[in-house]
Structure 1
C-alpha cells in the first residue's frame, strides 16, 4: 500500500481514532510535558540520568538557578554543572514540590485575615467619640450618630447608642496542607498577565506547554484542516475565585472596594476555553466548557473525542485549570468535613502531642485517612484523528476511544458516592476489551483511581474495582492514585491521571501509593494490587490504563487510555507498513522540533504563547457564499454544504 496524504474527507476512515499528539501543564509535581511531573512522582525509581534531568528541570522552573551561555548559575553568580545543580538543590526541590504545608507567600495559614464581629456601646456616663474624614462617613447616617464638622474636611462623631463593627483579625486555619505548584514557580511571570486570576495564568502556560510539546507549528496544523474542524474544550469547575476574579467581585462591597470591569468576566468558569481560543490558538472553531465537579476534565475529554470520532473535528485541545488554594474555598470544603485537617492528620499519623503532622502524607488514598487535600493544577492534551496524525507525522502518546459518564440516580446526600461509577467502569473495560482484546484488559492494564483520600472513597471505590475485576476475571490489578502526590485539583484531577498514565507507558513504572504504610483494613482488595511502592512493569508492559473519577453530585466518569505501542499496531493494520514507514520518517523531524522546545523549557524558558490582540480578523474580509465561508488568515474554507439527515421525514 503506497502512502497518500489524507486530506479529502471522502478518503478518511469511517471510525476515526482520537490519538494524543501533545500534552502539557503544571501541578505540584512540576511541568507535565515530556513526563517531568510524572518523573517527580517516581523519582526514587528513575535511572540516575533521568533523576538528574528531572531535578535540574525543577531547579530552573523554581528559579533556583538560571541557564545562560551553556552553564547554570545561581543568584550570586556561582556557576554549576547539571550534576552539581542536582546534588546541591535536591533536598530543597523535593521538599518544595508535591503535597506539603501551605507556604506563607501563598497563604499564611497560621494568620488568615478575617473580620471579627462585635457590638460596641458607650460606657455608662461616657460618650463614645471618634474623628474621621467626612467623605468616609456612611451615605446614610444612623440616627444615633451626632456629627460635628471640623477643619480640613474632618468630622467628629459621637455615638449615642451601640453600633455593630467588624474588627480586623487573624486566625489559624484547621487545614494546612495542599498540592501547591513548585515553590518559586509563578505562572504569571511567563507572559503579560496583568489582572489575570491565577487559574487563567495557569491556563495560558499549560495550554502553551501542550501546544509546543507536539513539535508541530500550530499554523501547520491550522493549514491542514478547515477552521471549523478545530475544537477547544476546557473549563474550571469553581471558576476564578481570587481577587482578580469572582472572589474580589463578591466581597468588594463588604471590603469597602469597587468592583472592577474585569473581575466578573475573568471569573467565569468558561474562561479557560475562551482564553485559549483568543490568546493562544486564535481559533474560530468549536468551543465548549463542560463541568462535572471532580470529573470535569473527563467531561471535556468526552466532548473532544466524540467530535473526532464523528468527524466533526480533526484536532482538539482538551483540558481544565483550577487554582482553589484560597482561605474561603478551604473553609467551604473544610466545613463539609471533606478536607484533611491538622487534628485529623495528627490522629491518623499518630503524631506526638505538640508536634505538627507530616503534611507530605496528608493525601492518603486507600490508607487510614481523614479527608482529601486541595491542589492547583492545569492540564491540557492535544488530540487528532489518526489520519491527520499520520499525515503530519505527529508523535503519538496514546489514544482514548471513549469516555463513559453516568449519574447516581436517587440520592440522600448530594456529596455521597453512588452506583453510577459501576456503570462507567464496566463500560470502559468492555469497550477496551472489544477493541484491543480481553487479554490486554485482563493481563496488561492498570487503574488510575479517583483515590480522593476520604474514608468513604477508599471503601466504595475499592468495592467497584473489586467487583469489576471479578466480572472480567482480573487478578492482582495494579492500582495507582496520583492524588497521593499532587492532591485534588477538582476539575483537573483526571488530567493529572492521564498525564501520569502516559508516563507509565513511557517508563514502565506504576507509581505506588507511597504516602501510606499499608492499605486500610476496610478496603476491598482481594483482586487489587494497591502497592505502597513503585511497581516496575517494563516498557510496553501495560497496554491500557483506566481513568476513574467520582465527582460531587453523582458526576461519575471513566475512560480507557491505550498505550502508544497498541495505537501504532492499530494504525499499521489500518494503513499498512509502507504508510507507517513514511509516517515514522516524518515523525523524526517532529520529535527534533519538540526536543528543541524541551531544551528551552529545561533552561527555564517556557516560550509561552500569548497573542493579545495579534492577527485580528477583519470581518469586512470574510467571504460568504452558499457553499462556503473564507476566513482571513485561514488557508482552508469552511464547508457549508449539507445533507438532509431527515430525508425520510420530508
Structure 2
C-alpha cells in the first residue's frame, strides 16, 4: 500500500498576512467571519504590522494609547485594511511615480568639451577621440572632440503601480540576524518558523522519529533572489559603478530557499530537492515530496517556495510582455481617470493583466503512520500531483493541452477515492486565475468541459490572485493555504474585485461568485496552476474529514483514539504559539553556526551509518533491485 502524504502544518506570509492558523485566509474573508475570529484576525495583523505592542498585559499603540482587542478595529481597522492585500506599491520598494533609470544621450561636440577628473577614473581603453593632459596630484584634463555618449541618472513614471506586498510595517529582517540576506530568503526563514511552531510538534522529536535520510526539503524560487543583496545587485553593480559583493551570486540562486531551510532551520541531512516550473513551482516541488512519501523514501517532507520580486526590472520585463495590468488599461476598463489599486487583479472578469505579488509558503507533510504516531494535526492530504506539458507551441507563453490532462487526472483520482457525490456536491477549484484576458477564457474552458464530463453543476471556482497577486513560485502555495482555510472555516471566497464574470468566460457549469459565502463542509480542493512555457500542474487535496476517515479505515479505531490522545499535547503547544504570534512574537528559528556536525564522529560499517545528533541510523544494506538482471 502507498503511504498517504498528510498535511500536518502550513506557514508563510503574503499580502494577506501570516499563513498559520488561517490568518491570511481570514483577512480575505474578513467580512464573512464571526465576530471573535474577526477580532483575532485584526489583532494578529496589527501585531504583524507593528501597529501595536504588548507590555505588562496591556495593548499599546505606537502613540502609547491603551487599547483592547475589542476596539482594535475601531482604532486601527482602517490602517490594517489599507496596509494589506493588493495596493499601490509603497516607496520602501521604489517610487512608482519616479522610478530611477539611466538615460543614454548621444551628443556631438560643436566645440571641444573639457573636464577634469582623477587619472585612476579614466576608462580602459581610452576612447579614440579623448585627449588626456596630466595635471598635478593625480588629476588629468580630458578633451573630447566629435561624437560621444552620456548616461545620466533620471526618473520615469512607471505605468505599473500596484502589487501584492507584505503587510505594511512587516519586516522579516528585523525578526532575526538577517545578515544582509535577500528579502526572499528572509521570508523563507519566517515561513519555515511559522510552519514548525504552528505544527505544535517538537522538531527535534520529529527528526529523531525517523532515519535521518527519511526527511526531505523540497523548495525553489523562479527568478532567484532578485533583490539588491542577490542577483539583482550582482547584475547591476558594475553598470552602477559599484562592487560585486562576495554574497550576491551565492545568495541569488533559486536553490537558496531549500539550502536555508536545511542549514539554518531544520538541520536536515536527508533529501534536498529544488525544481522550478514557472508559476507551478510550488506544485512541482510538492509532487516530488508526495512521490517520495508514497514510495517510502521520505517520511517527513518540507515543501516550500518563496519569491520577492517587486523590483523595477521584473515589473518592466512582465510589463513589456503586456502581462501586467497597467494604469492606462485599467482606466480604459473602468472608463475613469483614476485607478482603484485594490482591484487591479480581476480573475475571470474584464481584465488587462496580472498583478505581481511577493510571498513565501511552506507546508509540512508526513506519511500517515508517522502523523498518527506523533499526534500531529491532520489538516488534509495530497494523494498525488499531476504535471503535464503542452507539446508543440507557437508562443512559449501561450496555454496548451497540458492543463486539460492534469485537471482530468486529478478529478479522476479524487472520484476514485471519495466517490461521485463528493466530486459533484463537495469539491471546489483553486484556480490559477492570473487575471489576463487569455487565461480567463482558456482556464474556464477546461473547468467547464471537465464539469460537463462529470456532470458537475455550479462548481465553485476560487481565485486567490484577486487578493494577494501573483507571487510566481509560491502562487500554488497561496492556493493551498486558501484550500485549508475553506476546509477549516467553511467559507467560500468570492472574486470580489470584479463587477461581473466576463462574457467570454465559459461558466455554464461553474460558480464564480462575486461575494464570500458560507458553504457546507467540502471534501476535495483542486489546486491548479498554468505556468509559462507549458508548466501545468494540478493537485487534488483531500479535506481533514476525508483524510481522517481514510486513516481510520487503514489503521483502525484504536490507532485513531491513541492519535487523539497524543494530539492534546500538540494542541496545547499550538495554542502557545498562537498567543505569542498574536503578540508579534514569532520566535524565528535561525541556527547560524549551531549544531554543526563533526564529520570525524560519523560512524558506519557496511550495514548502517550513525550521524551525530540523530537517534536513528541510516541503513546502508539493501537488496539488489536488479537481481533478475544480475545473474
TM-score by length of 1: 0.96
Equivalent position of 2:165 in the other structure: 180
Per mean C-alpha deviation after superposition, the further-off stretch among 397-406 and 99-108 is 99-108
Name the residue aligned to 2:594.
Answer: 614
Matched, 1:522 2:504: yes
User: Counterpart of 1:253 in 2: which secondary structure?
Assistant: helix
Alignment partner, residue 9 of structure 2? 22
> Which of residues 516, 536, 542 is equivalent to 1:534?
516
Counterpart in the other structure of 2:108: 121
Partner residue in 1 for 2:577 = 597
| Aligned equivalents of 1:149, 1:605: Cα separation in 2 | 62
1:358-377 correspondence to structure 2 within 5 Å: 358-377=340-359
- Could you say what secondary structure the match of 1:203 adopts? helix
Deviation at 1:428, TM superposition (A): 0.2
- Counterpart of 1:9 in structure 2 is none
2:233 counterpart of 1:237: no
Residue range with higher mean Cα deviation, 508-517 or 75-84: 75-84
The alpha-carbon deviation at position 147 of structure 1 amounts to 2.2
Q: CA deviation at 1:127?
A: 2.7
Residue of structure 2 equivalent to 1:89: 76
State the 1:162 CA deviation.
Answer: 2.5
Q: What secondary structure is seen at the aligned counterpart in 2 of 1:490?
A: coil
The answer (yes or no) to whether the contact 1:28–1:180 under 8 Å persists in 2 is: yes
The answer to whether residue 52 in structure 2 is matched with residue 70 in structure 1 is no
Q: What is the root-mean-square deviation in Å for CA atoms of aligned residues?
A: 1.0
TM-superposed CA distance for 1:350, in Å, is 2.0
Please give the secondary structure, in 1, of the residue aligned with 2:528: strand
For residues 41 and 68 of structure 1, what CA distance do their matches in structure 2 show? 29
Retained in 2: the 8 A contact 1:62–1:182? yes
Superposed counterparts of 1:142-291, under 5 Å: 142-291=127-276
Q: For residues 43 and 309 of structure 2, what CA distance do their matches in structure 1 show?
A: 28
3-state DSSP class of the match of 1:127? Answer: strand
2:502 partner SS: coil
2:47 aligned residue (21, 37, 60): 60
Equivalences for 1:290-309 in 2 at 5 Å?
290-309=275-294
Q: Secondary structure at the match of 1:138?
A: coil
Give aligned pairs, total: 630
Residue 649 of structure 1 and its aligned partner are, at CA, apart by 1.1
Structure 1 unaligned blocks of 5 or more:
1-13
Q: CA deviation at 1:584?
A: 0.5
Summarize deviations over 1:9-56 as a string: whole Å, max 9, x none. Answer: xxxxx3211000010000000000000000011001001111111111
Q: What displacement does 1:79 show?
A: 1.5
Q: Give 1:338 shift.
A: 0.4
1:81-130, Cα deviation, whole Å (9 max, x unpaired): 1122222110111111101111112221111110100123333xx33111
Confirm or deny: 8 A CA contact 1:36 1:54 kept in the other structure.
Answer: yes
Deviations 1:367-395 (A, max 9, x none): 00000000001000000001001000001
Look up the SS of the partner of 2:239 in the other structure. coil
Shift of 1:599: 0.9
Q: Secondary structure at the match of 1:588?
A: helix
Please list, as runs of the form range in 1=range in 2, the aligned pairs for 1:477-626 lying within 5 A after superposition: 477-538=459-520, 541-626=521-606
Partner SS state of residue 228, structure 2: coil
Return the offset for 1:598.
Answer: 1.2
Deviates more, 1:319-328 or 1:77-86: 77-86
Q: Could you give the per-residue CA deviations for residues 270-307 of structure 1, whole angstroms, max 9, x where no partner exists?
A: 10000100001011000001110000000000000110
- Deviating above 4 A after TM superposition, structure 1's stretches of 4 or more consecutive aligned residues are none
The reply to whether residue 357 of structure 1 matches residue 344 of structure 2 is: no
Paired residues of 1:29 and 1:37 also in contact (CA < 8 A): yes
In 2, Cα distance between the equivalents of 1:607 and 1:252?
34
Gaps of 5+ in 2: none
Report if aligned partners of 1:121, 1:128 keep a CA contact under 8 Å in 2. Answer: no
**Of the candidates 371, 390, 395, which is equivalent to residue 408 of structure 1?**
390
User: How many Å apart are 1:258 and its aligned residue?
Assistant: 1.7
CA deviation after TM superposition for structure 1 residue 150, in Å: 3.0
Q: Distance in 2 between matches of 1:135 and 1:65?
A: 52
Q: Distance in 2 between matches of 1:86 and 1:614?
A: 42
- CA distances 1:500-553 after superposition (whole Å, capped 9, x unpaired): 100000000011000001100000111000000012113xx2001001000000
Q: CA deviation at 1:366?
A: 0.3
SS of residue paired to 2:474:
helix
